[in-house]
Each structure stands twice: as structure tokens, then as C-alpha cells.
């Protein structure tokens, strides 16, 4: 093999011959086998050989003359020493000599290189290259090996000599997005995943990747490649298409955050024709698609393939068209997605579909600003699969129509889980608004959903309780005010917020009642 690891069996095949025109006598073949190859076995075919002393390696003398055009083969099978602990290149070199003057000596030597790789390597250096660096580890890891980055203190790996080529199946396991950062300083892309390669990146932050006029500012997933990104962040990366990721293969993003990236198409992710992108339990925030006559397409995602978003929060993204999603062809499926506070200058502050099929289930759309037309819709058509909610009225052009009601969203933040979410406050119309057939088992944070009455959007509220403080058990003549205001406290499950939510007071519909019959109050405090 061209690449092997400690303990592997390796085979070197040496073919020799006499190109003529005369027979050669005193022919000796010398093979300087590296000392890291042990337990060698030699097999030969062709002319009769006799081993002669040689250090290091082996030497064989051809018995009798080696006639013109006669060929022999020597095969050396050995074991790569188990004591090897770091990647290196070893070379096996061979030479043939004879007692005759050779007028063409240039073909009398040959060498074969073998890359020694390791199944597990640890990154210990923040340098761009050299022993212990990430670039060194990618060059020295065996196919399907694991590179671990677990520094004792936060580590920022700064790339200075270009992108990192991923040319074999590999897992890069960082200790966390808060402790491991790979920074390209806006001078190059960060990772280029080769065709047919499966790569898994987890527990790290990718920052300031730049593909210039190319695709995939932080990661380019080439045709036939497969990326799994988990518990990671991609921030401040730029490209012509796919500011964070350009996917031409298969990409799966889970428990991750794509923040502050930019491109002409797909500020965060561009998904090409016919390929698959799955985003779960993740947040796509403040990405921008800009440029061109229309101001850029797909602030968060530009999709022409097969897109699935589940338990995702898409907020604060901007584009000319389709701030959350610009759909040109293929399919897009949203389930339990919160799309809020995105802005498009032309059309589709939330979703703008000009082709393909877009299906929405148990998702909510709120306060998505647009220059003209609906914030969710487009000439391609968007389908309501049930359990959705839209706000304000008239902003979602979906078939059949989505109900309009204020979802009462709280501030973006970490309320359990690994990625920020927009919580549902008490009184939210999104609570219990999902359809049971589309309910996922957990929300974006990992909180269990109620299967029969799950909430719309990425956040599942865990219930609230109301306790009367004062004003209970009063009486007064009709037409008179009660002597004491009705005051209640509202409690939730920490750390879920309640401030800014609402409580509705409702009097009896018949007989003695209140005026007005119903009153809604805003919750103050934590």
C-alpha cells in the first residue's frame, strides 16, 4: 500500500531485467529495506538467486549470466514496526549492478515511498504547519482515523498557508466550540473536502474563512463528499456562494450555530442542484446575502437540492430575496422551525420560493420584514402541512392558509441546549398549536415534546402556573369597581423566561361578570 500504519503488513515488489544486447554476469540486486520493516519474507521468481551478505537490507546474486530480455521478480513482505508513534515517510530503495560496463546506468536504481499514517493523532500546536499542527495531522492520519483537539486552555489555530485539504475519511473531534478555533484570517477557505471523502467535524469553531470568488467560505463539500458538522460554530466567513458552507455532496449540520457569514447566494449555506442538506437542532443567525441587482438571495440558505430543516431557529438574516430561504428548485421541508426577525429588501423576508416544492409543518413565522409582497411565499408556491403559525396578519402566502396569531417570542438566548433559541412566552399562540402527526420527540434544546399537543416552532414550552396574590373572593354591587385589583404571579420552569408574556383574565359569559369580560395583562419581572 502507499499508506500504512504500525502493525500493517507491507509488500514491496522489485522487478529487474537485462535490456541487452549482451548477457550480464556478476549481477547483484541490493534492496535497502527500511529498519522499520520487520519480519521480512523474500519470494523470488525468474532467474536463480543466492542471498549474499548485505547490511542493511538484502542482496541477491544472480546465478550465472542474466541473458538479454530476461526478467525476474523479487517480492519482500514485512511488518511495519509497532513502535512507530508518529506519521513519517519511509523509502525502500533498490539497486542492480553487474561486472560489465553499463552504458545506461540511470535505470539501475529505483525507490518506493510508503507513508506511515496513524489511526489516532492529537493536535497540540496552534501553528499553521509542523509537528503537532492540524495540517500535520491531516497529512498523517490514516483513512477513517480520528484527530483529537483537546487543549488544556483555549486554542486558536491560525492558518497562514492556505486551506486544509481533507483527502481521506476522517473525524476531527474538538473539545468544544468555546475552546477550539480554526481561524483563516479571511485569507483562505478553511476546509476543502475532496470528492468521495467522508468527514466529521465536531466541537470546534471555524472563523473568518474566505473563498473569495469561489464557493464555501469555511467549508467546501465537493461532489460525492459527505460532511457531518456537530456541536460547532461557523462565524464571519465569506464566499461568492455559501458563506459558511457550499454543499455539492451530502451535508448534515446538528447542534451547531452559523453566525455572521456572508455571500452573494446563501449567506450561511448554498445547497447545489440534486444534493442533500439536513440541518437539525441548530441556529442560523445574522447571515447576509448581498450583491447583484436583487441584493443577494438566501440570507440563511440558498437551496436548489434537497433541504430538510428540523428543530432550527433562523433569525436576523438579511437578503435581497428570501432572507431565511431562497428556493429555486428541488425540495425544502421545514418541521418545528422558528423563522423570525429576518429581512429582505425585495421579497421574502422569510421564504421566497421560485421553484421546486416547499413544505412547512409545525413551524412559526414572525416579524419577517420584506420590501414588497408576502414575507413567506413566492411564485414557486409554499405548502402548509399543518401546525404552522404566522404573524403579522397577511404576511404568509401559503396554501392552505396559515393561521395568524402573535407567537409572543422572548429574547434570543441559551435556555438549555447548545444553541440559542427564541422562547415561547406565557400566552403564546404557538403553544399546543402543532399537529400531532408532525410532532418531533424533542425540541431544539432536547426538551421532550408533548406528542399530542406539541408547540409550533423550535421551542417547546414546559408549562406555566398561575397563583392568585390578591383580589380573590370579592363582591360589589353591579356597576361598581372592585375594591382590590386582581393580582397574580406566573411561574415557569427555569431557565425558560416569562417576562413579556401575557395573562388573560376572563369573567363569566352569562350572569354577573366583569367589564370588560376579558382583559389581557403583560407579565412584568423575570
pLDDT of residue 526: 66
Query: In terms of pLDDT, which residue wins out, 80 or 319?
Result: 319
Q: Which of 44-58, 300-314, 361-375 has the highest mean pLDDT?
A: 300-314
pLDDT digits (tens, 9 = 90+) for 206-247: 999 999 999 999 999 999 999 999 999 999 999 999 999 999
Distance, in Å, from the CA atom of 96 to the CA atom of 368, rounded to the nearest integer, reads 77
pLDDT digits (tens, 9 = 90+) for 395-415: 999 999 999 999 999 999 999
- % of residues, the chain, pLDDT over 70: 99
- Report the range of poorest mean pLDDT among 1-15, 130-144, 361-375: 1-15
Mean pLDDT score, 354-375: 93
Distance, in Å, from the CA atom of 193 to the CA atom of 250, rounded to the nearest integer, reads 11
171 close to 203: Cβ distance less than 8 angstroms:
no
- % of residues, the chain, pLDDT over 90: 74
C-alpha cell read off for 373: 409582497
pLDDT classification of 57: cutoffs 50, 70, 90:
confident
Where do we find the cell 549492478?
97
Domains annotated on the chain, with CATH = 3-116 (2.60.40.1530), 465-522 (no CATH)
Q: What angle do CA 158, 159, 160 make, to 5 degrees?
A: 115
C-alpha cell read off for 443: 425540541
Residue 146 has pLDDT above 90, yes or no: yes
pLDDT of residue 55: 61
Strands (E), 132-218: 141-149, 155-158, 164-166, 170-174, 180-183, 191-193, 198-202, 205-207
pLDDT of residue 408: 97
Q: Taking the CA atoms of the chain, what radius of gyration do you get in angstroms?
A: 33
pTM reported for the whole predicted model: 0.90
Residue 54 has pLDDT above 70, yes or no: no
pLDDT digits (tens, 9 = 90+) for 252-267: 999 999 999 999 999 9
116 close to 84: Cβ distance less than 8 angstroms:
yes
pLDDT of residue 513: 77
- Local structure of residue 219 (DSSP, 8 states): E
Distance, in Å, from the CA atom of 522 to the CA atom of 457, rounded to the nearest integer, reads 22
Amino acid at each position: 500500500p502507499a499508506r500504512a500504519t504500525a502493525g500493517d503488513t507491507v509488500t514491496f515488489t522489485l522487478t529487474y531485467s537485462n535490456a541487452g544486447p549482451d548477457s550480464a554476469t556478476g549481477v547483484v540486486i541490493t534492496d535497502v529495506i527500511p529498519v522499520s520493516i520487520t519480519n521480512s519474507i523474500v519470494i523470488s521468481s525468474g532467474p536463480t538467486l543466492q542471498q549474499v551478505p548485505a547490511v542493511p537490507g538484502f542482496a541477491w546474486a544472480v546465478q550465472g549470466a542474466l541473458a538479454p530480455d530476461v526478467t525476474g521478480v523479487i517480492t519482500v513482505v514485512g511488518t511495519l514496526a509497532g513502535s512507530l508513534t508518529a506519521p513519517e515517510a519511509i523509502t525502500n530503495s533498490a539497486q542492480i549492478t553487474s561486472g560489465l560496463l553499463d552504458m545506461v546506468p540511470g535505470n539501475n536504481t529505483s525507490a518506493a515511498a510508503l507513508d506511515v499514517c496513524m489511526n489516532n493523532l492529537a493536535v497540540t500546536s496552534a501553528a499553521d504547519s509542523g509537528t503537532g499542527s492540524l495540517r500535520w495531522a491531516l497529512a498523517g492520519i490514516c483513512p477513517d482515523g480520528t484527530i483529537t483537539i483537546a487543549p488544556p486552555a483555549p486554542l486558536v489555530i491560525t492558518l497562514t498557508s492556505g486551506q486544509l485539504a481533507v483527502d481521506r475519511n476522517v473525524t476531527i473531534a474538538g473539545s468544544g466550540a468555546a475552546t477550539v478555533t480554526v481561524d483563516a484570517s479571511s485569507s483562505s477557505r478553511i476546509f476543502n473536502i475532496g470528492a468521495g471523502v467522508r468527514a466529521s467535524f465536531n466541537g470546534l469553531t471555524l472563523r473568518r474563512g474566505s473563498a473569495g470568488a469561489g464557493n464555501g467560505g469555511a467549508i467546501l463539500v465537493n461532489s460525492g463528499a459527505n460532511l457531518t458538522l456537530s456541536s460547532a460554530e461557523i462565524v464571519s466567513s465569506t464566499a461568492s456562494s455559501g458563506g459558511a458552507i457550499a454543499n455539492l455532496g451530502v451535508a448534515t449540520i446538528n447542534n451547531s450555530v452559523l453566525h455572521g457569514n456572508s455571500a452573494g447566494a446563501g449567506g450561511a449555506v448554498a445547497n447545489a442542484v440534486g444534493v442533500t442538506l439536513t440541518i437539525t437542532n441548530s441556529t442560523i443567525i445574522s447571515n447576509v446575502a448581498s450583491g447583484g441587482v436583487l441584493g443577494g438571495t438566501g440570507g440563511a440558505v440558498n437551496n436548489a437540492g434537497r433541504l430538510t430543516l428540523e428543530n432550527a431557529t433562523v433569525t436576523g438574516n438579511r437578503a435581497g430575496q428570501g432572507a431565511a430561504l431562497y428556493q429555486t428548485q428541488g425540495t425544502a421541508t421545514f418541521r418545528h422551525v422558528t423563522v423570525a426577525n429576518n429581512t429582505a429588501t425585495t421579497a421574502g423576508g422569510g421564504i421566497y420560493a421560485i421553484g421546486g416544492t416547499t413544505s412547512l409543518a409545525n413551524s412559526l413565522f414572525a416579524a419577517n420584514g420584506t420590501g414588497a409582497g408576502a414575507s413567506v411565499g413566492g411564485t414557486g408556491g409554499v405548502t402548509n402541512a399543518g401546525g404552522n403559525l404566522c404573524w403579522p396578519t397577511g404576511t404568509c402566502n401559503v396554501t392552505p392558509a396559515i393561521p395568524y396569531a402573535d407567537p409572543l417570542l422572548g429574547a434570543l438566548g441559551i435556555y438549555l441546549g447548545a444553541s440559542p433559541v427564541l422562547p415561547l412566552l406565557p400566552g403564546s399562540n404557538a403553544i399546543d398549536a402543532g399537529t400531532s402527526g408532525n410532532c418531533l420527540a424533542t425540541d431544539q434544546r432536547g426538551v421532550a415534546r408533548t406528542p399530542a399537543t406539541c408547540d409550533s416552532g423550535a421551542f417547546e414550552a414546559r408549562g406555566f402556573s398561575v397563583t392568585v396574590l390578591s383580589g380573590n373572593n370579592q363582591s360589589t354591587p353591579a356597576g361598581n369597581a372592585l375594591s382590590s385589583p386582581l393580582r397574580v404571579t406566573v411561574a415557569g420552569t427555569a431557565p425558560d423566561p416569562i417576562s413579556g408574556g401575557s395573562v388573560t383574565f376572563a369573567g363569566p359569559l352569562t350572569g354577573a361578570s366583569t367589564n370588560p369580560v376579558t382583559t389581557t395583562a403583560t407579565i412584568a419581572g423575570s
